[in-house]
Chain A
C-alpha cells in the first residue's frame, strides 16, 4: 500500500496543513509519497523531504502548476494516482478545489473531510454541519480523500530524509488562467492552526470595534475569527469566517465574543478543547457548548480580560 499526499504550499512556504495530511496517511499505514506541484518550488520539495515518515517526494515544477489551477493539476494527479492505493489532500480551499476533479477522472467517489481513520478503507466524516458523524467504507481501487486538518495532530516537519524525484506532467490544459489575487495581510497566527482563537460576531456592532479583539488576541498570541453575521455586515473580511462554510478550527481555547452560536457557526468550532462565551444574552445557544460562560457587556469584559491575562 502506497499513499500519495498532495503538498499544500504557495511556492514559497510549505503549509502546515500538509503535516496534518501526512498524519492521516500514517494512520492509514503504508509508504507515504508527497507530490509538490508548483512553479519554482524546489525549496518546497526539500522541505517536504524532511517531513517525518515520508519516503519519497515527487516534484512537478512547471509554470502551469504555479497557482494550482485544477484544470492543470487534476490531470497530473490523476495520472500518478493509478499507482497508489490512496490519494490524500488537506481539506483547504485548494484541496477541495482540485481533488474531486481527480476523483471523477479516476471514476471513483471522493470521501470529503475525514476526521478519523478506522481502517485503510473505512473513515469517519461529519455530515449535516457536524451534527452527525458518518462512518463510510470505500471499495474504490484508489481511495481519494480530503483530510480535515483539525482531526489529525501534525507530524514532525523535521527528521525525515526522503528521496526527491523530478517529474513532468501534462502541463497547461489551456482552459483557464490565473488573473490575480488579493490576500489578507496579518501578523497574527494562521486561523486554522492557531492554539487560541478569539472570534467576534454581530455583537461587535461595527468593524472598528474589532480592535478590542485584535488587542486581546495580540496579548494572547491568538488568531482572530468571526461569525457569518460579522462578515456579512462587513465588519471583517470573509477569510476570517469560522463555520460550516468558512474555516474549521479546533484550538486549545476558543473565545466567542458577541456570537449567538448558530448551528452553522458551531460546525466550525465545537471541537475546540475549551470554549469561552462572552455574551449579554444569557439564553444564547453558545452557552450550551461553552465550558466557561460570562454574561455581560463585551465592551467592558474584553478590555478587562486583556488587562488580567
Chain B
C-alpha cells in the first residue's frame, strides 16, 4: 500500500528561541532549522512498514517555504521514495495545512497517512485530526504502536491514564508520539542518492485550496520570567524554608 507522510520544517528543538523586540513573533533569522522531531518518527515508521513489506511506496509531503526542500531531501535520504512540496511563503494555520494535505491525499490516494502529533513551534496538535475530518478517514492519534492487518490498522495510543488500543478501517490517519520508534540517521550514500529522487513542487493555487484564516496573531511576548531563587545548604534549611517562607508544606 501507499503511505503518505507529512513533515514540517521547524526551529531545531535545542534552540532557545527569542521573541522579537516589536512583539511580532519569534526571531527566526539565522536560527538552525530541522525536521520537526515528531515528523522524523512518522518518516521512520513509514520506512519500517516498507521494510516489513506492508508499504510499497512512501510519498513525503511538506507545506512551507522553498527551504523546506531540505527537510524533504532528509526524508528521502531516510527511505521515502518521492517528495511533494506545497510551496507557501506564508505561515499557515493547521486548518489550511489540513486542507492542502487533503488535496494531496485526493491526488495520491494513500492507504495510510502518517503525521507527527504536534509541531514543536506552534504546539497546536491539530493537523492530523483535521485531515481526518476533511477526508472522513478514521484517526489514530498519539500512536506508540501501529500494526496493519488486512484492511484494518490497530493503533495503540498514549492517553492520560495509560494506553488505549483502537482498530481503524483503512484508509486511516496516524499521528506519532515520541515512543513509537527511534528514528535512524541518514547515511552519506543515502543522502547522495536522495538528491536524485523526484521532488515535485506545487502551489496552493494549483491545488485549488484557499489558505485564508480566521485567526490573527496580535502579539507574541516572552513569558514572565521567574525570579532567581536561592541555593540552600542543607535539607533542614530546605524544609524550614518550604514550611515557613514558601508555606507550601
Contact = CB atoms under 8 A, between A and B. Distances in A.
Interface of A: 67, 69-71, 74, 92-94, 96-105, 107-113, 122, 126-140, 174-184, 192, 196, 220, 228, 231-232, 237-239, 244-245, 247, 252-253, 263-264, 270, 273-276, 282, 287-295, 301, 304-305, 308-309
B123 A294 contact: no
A231 to B, nearest CB: 8
A196 B247 CA distance: 12
Nearest to A99: B129
Interface stretch (B62-70, B187-195, B229-237): B229-237
Interface of B: 11, 13-14, 16-17, 19, 26, 93-95, 98, 117-118, 120-134, 136-139, 141-142, 144, 154, 157-169, 177-179, 213-223, 226, 228-232, 234-236, 238-239, 241-242, 246, 248-249
Given A133-B221, A239-B160, A292-B241, 4 more contacts: A97-B139, A132-B220, A136-B217, A176-B139
B123 A292 contact: no
A252 B242 CA distance: 11
A305 B249 CA distance: 12
Nearest to A184: B162
Q: What are the 3 tightest A-B residue pairs by CB atom distance, in nearest-first order? A: A104-B133, A100-B129, A104-B130
Contacts of B228: 288
Interface class of chain B by DSSP: mixed
A137 B218 contact: yes
Contacts of B242: 253, 274, 276, 292, 309
Contact of B162 (A176, A237, A294, A308): A237
Given A181-B162, A274-B248, A97 B141 contact: yes
A135 B213 CA distance: 15
Contacts of A126: 123, 223
B95 A293 contact: no
B125 to A, nearest CB: 5
Contacts of A93: 142, 157-160
A93 B160 CA distance: 6
Contacts of A122: 218
Contact of B141 (A96, A175, A253, A263): A96
A110 B213 CA distance: 11
A109 B94 contact: yes
A160 B54 CA distance: 54
A126 B121 CA distance: 10
A137 B16 contact: no
B123 A291 contact: no
Given A103-B126, A112-B126, A264-B13, A176 B169 contact: yes
A107 B160 CA distance: 28
Contacts of A252: 248
10 contacts: A93-B158, A97-B139, A100-B128, A104-B98, A132-B220, A138-B214, A138-B215, A175-B168, A293-B229, A305-B239
A253 B166 contact: no
Contacts of A134: 217, 219-220
Contacts of B223: 126, 130-133, 270
A47 B60 CA distance: 47
Nearest to A78: B133
Given A293-B232, A294-B231, A308-B239, A135 B219 contact: yes
A183 B95 contact: no
Contacts of A99: 129
A236 to B, nearest CB: 12
Contact of B166 (A69, A94, A112): A69
A179 B165 contact: yes
A130 to B, nearest CB: 6
B17 A71 contact: no
B119 to A, nearest CB: 10
A272 to B, nearest CB: 10
Contacts of B163: 181-183
A97 to B, nearest CB: 5
Contact of B165 (A140, A180, A239, A292): A180
B169 A132 contact: no
A135 B230 CA distance: 32
A132 B222 contact: yes
A128 B123 contact: yes
A292 B229 contact: yes
A176 B166 contact: yes
Contacts of B221: 132-133, 135
Nearest to B158: A238
Contact of A263 (B13, B93, B130, B131): B13
B124 A112 contact: yes
A276 B234 CA distance: 13
Contact of B123 (A74, A177, A244): A244
Contacts of B128: 100
Contacts of B215: 109, 111, 136-140
B179 A238 contact: yes
